[in-house]
Chains A and B, each alone.
Chain A
Amino acid sequence: MENKIDWISLLLYALILVFGWLNIYAACYDESHAAVFDFSTKHGKQIIWIGISLLFALGITLISPKVFSQGAYLIYFAMLGLLVVTLFVASVTKGGQSWIDFGSFKLQPSEFAKFATALALAKYMSAPDIDYRQNRTKLLSWTIILIPAVLILLQHDTGSALVFAGFIFPLYREGLSPKILVIGLVAIVLFVVALLVNRFIIVGALLLCGLFYLFVWLNKRTRKHYIWVTVALLACSLYTFSVDFAFQNILQPHQRDRIYVLLGKTTDTKGTGYNVYQSKIAIGSGSVFGKGFLNGTITKADFVPEQETDFIFCTVGEEWGFFGSVAVIALYVMLLLRLVTLAERQYSRFSRFYGYSVVSILFIHVFINVGMVLGLLPVIGIPLPFFSYGGSSLMAFTILLFIFLRQDQERTKPI
């Protein structure tokens, strides 16, 4: 018996695609190039990309999902090879070296590395004898994640590399200790606080917290408690003191500036903070109902750089207002929640793991992109899935999604 493809996900995908294209059209809109099918413009090119992506989607639904489960490692290593090749032949675009030039168009292999890694990790994690509690499993699974991440980092594409952190979610779903989420959260909080507050005050506060936990919170104290609290305090203090060093020596200057701007330590609306400042103006000026389609004064006048790619959400905020922005966020939330539901109904561990990978890759993109545009996160250049202008990302996200939808369609058949 043949199941139908999940039409809810398909509908949400189509809605996001159409609304995204409308906003690219508005962002590039120019009276002299108003024609929809003008392929010299970005909105015209995006139509081509959408067409190609839909062809890919159709292709995926026609072939057996087994192609991807069986060929997962093959695809993974092929992508790794492509990433290595990219390192050598890449043309430098916007400070990154992640593009391979094919004459008339450019390809960004890092976009495709995401679904390849998801497939490989899913394949590895669904092996019958895998137990995530074994150290060997942990090591290998993180190796699968980190190899492409490091290769992408070498291409100076920090944003795409950061996306690989999203694999924490499927791993967590399959048994990764929740402690790692808590530790990650504490690390981020401490990092931010360490940049803002004197380090000795932080250590003092940590000490107080530890004492409170030991002598007020706990009723019974064992030796084990004392040891763990001491270790945790020492680790946190060491981390706090090393933040400054890491911040100054590991991060690049523009990344430092972006973080400082976000934390309000520098207010530079002309230089580093320009993007976010203009983005906030564009969104803020949209008010409740927005200025109307094609009527955005800030986005139409090129005030926001990268507004059709990474800052596309500005156009939504300005022209469609609060309601439009909330609608876009709602579309993504619905799609993500739907995909979680789909992942949960898979019979095979492979499909479930892959489903969660799709959810987390999309989620990380939306989270970082919208957070950046709204001025909640530092500026990290990654696209809004299905929405931003760009062929590679659109094709890669479509392939990512449709491989999963295809698996869902055939969930009752053995992989």
Chain B
Amino acid sequence: MVYCTYNKPAIFLEQRNTHCQNHKRAVSRNQFQERSMVIRIIIVAVAIIFVIRLAFLQLFDNTYRKLADQQALRTVTQFPARGLIYDRNGKLLVYNEAVYDLMVIPKMTKHLDTNLFCKTLGISLDDFNARMEKACKYSSYSPSIFMKQVSKEEYGAWQSHLYKFHGFYVQKRTLRIYDRPIAAHVLGYVGEVDQADIDNDRYYHQGDYIGKSGLEKSYETVLRGIKGKKVMHVDVHNREIGPYKNGSMDTMAVEGGNLYTTIDADLQEYAEELMANKRGCIVAIEPSTGEVLTLASAPTYDPNLLVGRIRGENYMMLQRDISKPLFNRALQAQYPPGSIFKVAQAMTALDLGVITPSTGFPCDKSLVGCHNHPSARNVQEAIKMSCNPYFYFTYRRIIQQNKYKNIYRDSPYGLTVWHDYMQRFGFGTRLPIDLPNVKSGNIPDTNYYNRWYGAGKWAFSTIYSNSIGQGEVEVVPLQMANLACIVANRGYYITPHLVRFYGPDSTRNDEFYTRHETGIPAKYFEIAANGMYDVVHTAGGTARRANIPDIDVCGKTGTAQNIGYDHSVFISFAPKDNPKIAVAVYVENAPGGGGYWAAPIASLIIEKYIRGHVTRTDLEKYYHDAAPCQKLPLTRISKKKKK
């Protein structure tokens, strides 16, 4: 066995040797030298095991990375402000108001002057304790909402003492504010998303807000903007430490785009005032552009009622109201149009050539009744006097064109032709207005009657009520206003719409600039316009009350029969040449006919719009206060509760 393996000075070697000689087992003292290798191997082996383990944890398994992000990072959404809504003159209709969610971190509250706290917020001690308990239940360390949507005023009073309230802070949110309590049905309302919204669009999460109706719904993607996100680093107690990676993962919120609508706020307000105490609606359109000036449905409600903490309660109240204030009659009510429908019949018959402008029919009241008037000698007189038998005969010529001997084959042929014409007038189809839930009305076709009566079992005599806008015909008030536009434009209409342009780039929708032609020559519409002028201006016209000094109003009355009192209908446009406005007024259950209720209201709208003010103050006052029907309780929802 080698004792000394190293080079050493001889003197020490010698010393060592003497040392060894003195002891018996000196030579065997370093006899286990090879065991150092075993120890080295053990060290290296353990290191290798560790490296393998590290490789498994860090290289082959990425679940830990996910778990780490899950528990140490919190994504905070930055909510963009919702877009504003303006009227056609640049007046602000809808804007946002800052409200404050009062947040609390229960663990951080100490030495709280509860008395002062409750006093400044206007809550009771019991209420305070209940809210605090709820917050503690959620988490002692992470913030939870102590009080939702505290208004600026309440916040102001409370804020001056904020330094005394440790553990409390506020989170800014926005609420919709409606400058004037008008156009509730047009603007719609905003509410929290439901499960269906979340399933449909991955943009939304629980607690987000979404446009539920009106423009808020149809322009949701414009108004909502783009949410931003902030990735925060949180610690083991779920407290935020700071931005993750100095905010490099964050995205900025993009504010919602503004809507520039076609609504005239003053006219809208006036229309709603006129419709107080009545049920029905007013639709006013600028014929040359298709821009909707006013879309009022009565009864209505203050849109501010459906905002903030009071929303749920008020919504229930409005929904239970028997007069259906939430129902937008202008787009969703499918009414029988009554006599205003005759204008479209006259144009169709003239274009088909089944009558000429000078065709006359006797007012014989044989099958359809009529009021007392001399027989119409031509189309213009027929429109002026709204002669029911005249249009019964006209409709018979449209339906029974003698293409087939068998009337059961002839009538379906005529009906198909007529149906096509009606669609060109925008009836029986959903007008592509930029509001949700528009109804199409009903223009019956052959299938419709075949379903009712069976094929070959109906003919003109079954369906003649359609001629005067009764029977199976149903029309939405928007389509009525559109009919006035068609006559005003002498043969075409532009899709009615409510938004001119939107967003930062002033985007325009091409659909709103396309002309929809009826294909009927303008000369026939000139006859209709003349007839409608006579309705208002000449003796024997049905709407003399709509006469405005200095303004040439053209109109057509309607009195729609139904279960209950007749509805009062009026469509009009003015001035006769180069029209600026087309109006349809529909007043439900208003006995006295179209000329008594709807026509003067329409004329007030026209005067207000064209002249800017109303000269006929007596008429204005009368129709402002009058209530046509007392059968149903009418509620004018006012601003009685705000927040």
Give A residues with C-beta under 8 Å from B: 1, 31, 128-129, 131, 169, 172-175, 178, 280-288, 295, 297-298, 300-303, 317-318, 321-322, 325-326, 329-330, 332-333, 336-337, 340, 343-345, 347, 349, 352, 356, 359, 363, 367, 370-371, 374-376, 412, 414
Contact = CB atoms under 8 A, between A and B. Distances in A.
A160 B242 CA distance: 38
Nearest to A132: B32
A302 B8 CA distance: 55
Nearest to A286: B58
Residue of A280, A283, A284, A297 contacting most chain B CB atoms (<10 Å): A284
Contacts of B67: 281, 284-285
B39 A359 contact: yes
Closest 9 CB pairs of A and B: A284-B64, A285-B68, A297-B72, A301-B235, A322-B58, A284-B57, A285-B65, A302-B236, A333-B47
Contacts of A295: 245
A287 B62 contact: yes
B6 A345 contact: yes
A376 B52 CA distance: 11
A325 B54 contact: yes
9 contacts: A128-B22, A131-B25, A285-B68, A285-B69, A297-B72, A325-B54, A344-B33, A344-B36, A367-B46
A321 B234 CA distance: 21
Instruction: Assign chain B's interface to a size class.
Output: 35 or more
Contacts of B63: 284
Contacts of B65: 284-285, 287
B43 A303 contact: no
B509 interface: no
B73 interface: yes
Interface stretch (B9-17, B310-318, B403-411): B9-17
B236 to A, nearest CB: 5
Interface in B34-65: 35-36, 38-40, 43-44, 46-47, 49-51, 53-55, 57-59, 61-65
B234 to A, nearest CB: 6
A301 B72 contact: yes
B111 interface: no
B51 A329 contact: yes
Point out which of A298, A317, A359 has the most chain B C-beta atoms below 10 A from its C-beta: A298
A412 B16 CA distance: 11
A297 B59 contact: no
Interface in B453-495: none
A173 B39 contact: yes
Contact of B71 (A303, A370, A371): A303
A340 B59 contact: no
Contacts of B68: 281-282, 284-285, 297-298, 318
Given A131-B25, A329-B47, A175 B72 contact: no
B241 interface: yes
A376 B51 contact: no
A340 B64 contact: no
B1 to A, nearest CB: 13
Given A131-B25, A301-B234, A285 B36 contact: no
Interface string B66-102: 0111011100000000000000000000000000000
B309 interface: no
B54 to A, nearest CB: 5
Contacts of A128: 22-23
Nearest to A371: B50
A352 B6 CA distance: 15
Contacts of A340: 36, 39-40, 43
A129 B63 CA distance: 60
A280 B64 contact: yes
B58 A325 contact: yes
A283 B58 contact: yes
Nearest to A285: B68
Contacts of A414: 12, 15
Nearest to B44: A333
B551 to A, nearest CB: 73
B367 to A, nearest CB: 86
B39 A356 contact: yes
A201 B65 CA distance: 40
B29 interface: yes
B58 A288 contact: yes
Nearest to B23: A128
Given A333-B44, A344-B33, A374 B235 contact: no
Given A284-B62, A288-B58, 10 more contacts: A283-B57, A283-B58, A284-B58, A302-B237, A322-B54, A337-B40, A349-B30, A371-B50, A376-B53, A414-B15
Contacts of A280: 57, 64
B556 interface: no
